[in-house]
Structure 1
């Protein structure tokens, strides 16, 4: 039986007829429902990789091959879901450890994030930024408040956040060093103010007045000196005056 289908005639392109040729070709491809290929391009089908092909290489029936591939990829999906659950739990409980630097914490958390992405998890930067801010050490609490008030977390990049935190940390360390030096100077000045004049260690003059040191007085009861005014002083051996007048 002869076919009544008419084969479309493809217009010939020359240097002079490009405009009309373009219109005719568009109409031709449109009539064959092929114009989308010109606009969107052709996507090559995904080829079966070698390990997957080996699983069905000896299979003769397509139904059997279909079932084998279904079992294989369902198992892969199940393992992937378990992996995602484990990584998601690690991400949620992660927090900055005592003594851990900002860069080390960022690196540890981003390893988890990259594993989540490689297993098909869609995780946006804003989620990572918010996680980092709420899991930092307590000493960064006022820094977190400052960043949340001055930055738009939806557009804040992870690298930008790390840079901001490192700058704030440097200011914190600088201020802490200044406070330590100031406290040390204040302590030194306080010790100087509390030390008595002429102190060279040992006993003071008031202490020597109670013992046998020079400048003290002793009674001469054997020579008839008694009472407060009849005191013979060691320095002048005289009575009737105070030690300050000697």
Structure 2
């Protein structure tokens, strides 16, 4: 903003302002003084109008009562200093969130990356300079143990300094999917094995039941024969 007004030779009136004379003082001005005052007032209103154009509705309402551009500028300076303090506090909070964030055991790669990138984008919006290398290093340090092997492979390949966030996400998702496929195959094999064992057990149970029935029948038959001989 200072550069904009400076390029138009208007910064002096923004920064220093001018003294508005009382009606009695103005009546005592000569023609040259009146012309100079008229030019100054016109410049002041011009800059004030330009300043209004750069503001959102909420900020505009906070300076709408200003009668000169210097008064408006001084009010904005106070507002922005307060906002800068709020921004610094918010930055400190976001930096802590970024530092302590770790992947949860129940999270997948997509969800964890999404959570980290929300923090990263908020940091950037609040003025923090943060590049891909810093984010990549953070993610690699905070993954769960199930990614230990792929982390070692990436670090040994010296990919960390050149790896983009999206590329890292792709590598980790491939690794995650492979592990998930192995788990699904193992689960399927376990289910099939359980079914086979259950079927075998059912066959054994049926065989035992039949043997028991046969034995019972023989006992009853033997008893009848014994009574017949008597």
In which range does the TM-score fall when normalised by the shorter chain?
Answer: 0.5 to 0.7
TM-score (normalizing by structure 2)? 0.59
Residue 226 (structure 2) pairs with residue 220 (structure 1):
yes
Cα-to-partner distance string for 1:90-119 (whole Å, 9 max, x where unaligned): 222333345444223322321221111121
Q: Distance in 1 between matches of 2:222 and 2:184?
A: 54
Cα gap change, 1:152/1:56 in structure 2, threshold over 3 Å: closer, same or farther? farther
Which residue of the partner structure matches residue 110 of structure 1? 117
Tell me the CA shift for residue 82 of structure 1.
0.9
Tell me the CA shift for residue 202 of structure 1.
6.8
What's the RMSD between the two structures over aligned residues?
3.8
Answer 1 or 2: which has greater helix percent: 2
Match of residue 164, structure 1, among 158, 164, 171? 171
Decide whether the 8 Å contact of 1:96 with 1:105 is kept in 2: yes
Match of residue 131, structure 2, among 124, 129, 136? 124
Cα-to-partner distance string for 1:99-140 (whole Å, 9 max, x where unaligned): 444223322321221111121111121221122223334433
Q: Distance in 2 between matches of 1:170 and 1:82?
A: 40
Q: Distance in 1 between matches of 2:217 and 2:102?
A: 69
Q: Distance in 2 between matches of 1:194 and 1:202?
A: 10
Cα gap change, 1:172/1:212 in structure 2, threshold over 3 Å: closer, same or farther? same
TM-score (normalizing by structure 1)? 0.55
Cα gap change, 1:70/1:196 in structure 2, threshold over 3 Å: closer, same or farther? closer
Decide whether the 8 Å contact of 1:95 with 1:136 is kept in 2: yes
Q: Which runs of 5+ in 1 are unaligned?
A: 1-43, 225-246
Which residue of the partner structure matches residue 133 of structure 1? 140
Q: Distance in 2 between matches of 1:138 and 1:97?
A: 11
Which residue of the partner structure matches residue 42 of structure 2? none
Greater RCO structure (CA 8 Å; 6+ sep) = 2
Tell me the CA shift for residue 159 of structure 1.
0.5
Decide whether the 8 Å contact of 1:208 with 1:216 is kept in 2: no
Cα-to-partner distance string for 1:170-227 (whole Å, 9 max, x where unaligned): 2112211211222233334444555667x64672325642x34579634727847xxx
Cα gap change, 1:151/1:184 in structure 2, threshold over 3 Å: closer, same or farther? farther
1:9-48 superposed matches below 5 A: 45-47=3-5
Q: Distance in 2 between matches of 1:79 and 1:178?
A: 53
Decide whether the 8 Å contact of 1:80 with 1:119 is kept in 2: yes
Residue 211 (structure 2) pairs with residue 205 (structure 1):
yes
Which residue of the partner structure matches residue 75 of structure 1? 82
Tell me the CA shift for residue 81 of structure 1.
0.3
Q: Distance in 1 between matches of 2:189 and 2:132?
A: 42
Largest Rg, 1 or 2: 1
Which residue of the partner structure matches residue 231 of structure 1? none
Secondary structure class of the residue paired with 2:173: helix
